[in-house]
Structure 1
Amino acid sequence: MYRITKNLSFCYGHRLMNHPGKCRHLHGHSARVEITLESEQLNEQGMVCDFADIKQFAGQWINETLDHNMLLHKNDPVLPLLQEAGERLMVVDEHPTAEFLAKLIYNYVSKGGFPVTKVSVWETDSSSASYSPA
């Protein structure tokens, strides 16, 4: 099995309602995402995938959808205030955790036809969450 990993970076804000610690407050992260692709065979160029292709596909979507965006749960009471102020928001049905982001990115890359097997989102230098379907 051949395996490659592409790292991309983005910044986002969120909060985790009902969290017992400081994550219940609005805050931001400079995140790193690791996208791992696997294949038993290499393409005609001798690659699993060109790093530039995954960077362009996933990177553009991450920049447009997640980068410098505030991710909030649909029931967050601060949502109307931020919407009224014209802030950039992504309203989600689940709590906007690193686990949620890993699955969100995984699903997008997978739908693009890439042989993605795992996505990890590093919220900090020492904390990451991963998603893979099995």
Structure 2
Amino acid sequence: MPYRICKSFEIENGHMLSKHPDACRFPHGHSRRVEFVLEAEALDSREMVCDFKVLKLAMHDYLKTLDHAMCVNSLDPRFAEMRAVYGERVVAFEELDPTTEIIARRIYDVCLERLAAHAADPASPYPLAQGLRLLSVKVWETSSSWAEYAAPAPVEIPSPVARVASRSHSQGVHQM
């Protein structure tokens, strides 16, 4: 059975849902909890799935862009006006309402990209376990409501060993 870890962050975040028939179509906010679940079959050289600091380093600045910001569908007729007044504190969701489900998916995609970049950094003092997988991102909207995104099949973060082997194979290098 694999090892699993979960790292949580809290942000204050607003959104407005242009396709919603009721009050959620108006600007409103939530105290959100964002949870990242990772797993690996084996632990890294420090007996960890992934140092929690890696997730903090990878995601802190991105989550900061969502903290005390308003997420808005780029097709919303008020988007341009809001962006002009509030600048980057209005976060565009291209042609999608920023439901909690959509926010979870976006955070998942950013996390996957950033963990891959971390794994590719030879100067990083934090190793990643071989076979590390980002299982899911769960975003709590209230204390009783959340949405979660998980890829259909868990995506493995490329380890330095896998990258070297893959690069050698793709370049036609064979060992005798």
Q: TM-score range by the shorter chain?
A: over 0.9
Per the TM alignment, residue 22 of structure 1 is displaced from its structure 2 partner at its CA by 1.3
Give me the TM-score of the superposition, normalised by structure 1: 0.92
| 1:27 maps to amino acid | H
Q: Distance in 1 between matches of 2:141 and 2:86?
A: 26
Point out the structure with the larger helix share. Answer: 2
Aligned to 1:48: 49
List runs of 5+ in structure 1 lacking aligned partners: none
2:105 aligned with 1:103, yes or no? yes
Partner residue of 1:118 out of 136, 139, 155: 136
Aligned-partner SS, 1:81: helix
Where in structure 2 are the equivalents of 1:50-129 lying within 5 Å? 50-63=51-64, 65-87=65-87, 88-93=89-94, 94-111=96-113, 112-113=115-116, 115-129=133-147
For residues 86 and 34 of structure 1, what CA distance do their matches in structure 2 show?
28
Moved more, 123-132 or 85-94: 85-94
Runs of 5+ unmatched residues, structure 2: 117-131, 153-176
SS of aligned partner of 1:42: coil
The one-letter amino acid of 1:116's match is L
Matched, 1:24 2:42: no
The SS at the match of 2:55 is: helix
For residues 58-100 of structure 1, give each alpha carbon's deviation from its aligned partner in whole angstroms, at most 9, with x where no partner exists: 122211x211111110111211321232342111121101111
Q: Deviations over 1:94-117 (max 9, x none)?
A: 110111111111111111226211
What TM-score, normalized to structure 2?
A: 0.71
Identity level (%): 38
Following the alignment from structure 2 to structure 1, what is the Cα–Cα distance between the partners of residues 99 and 19? 13
Per mean C-alpha deviation after superposition, the further-off stretch among 83-92 and 17-26 is: 83-92
Q: Separation in 2 of the partners of 1:14 and 1:58?
A: 20
How many residue pairs get matched? 133
The match for 1:131 is: 149
Paired AA for residue 4 in structure 1 = I
**Structure 2 residue identity aligned to 1:47:** M
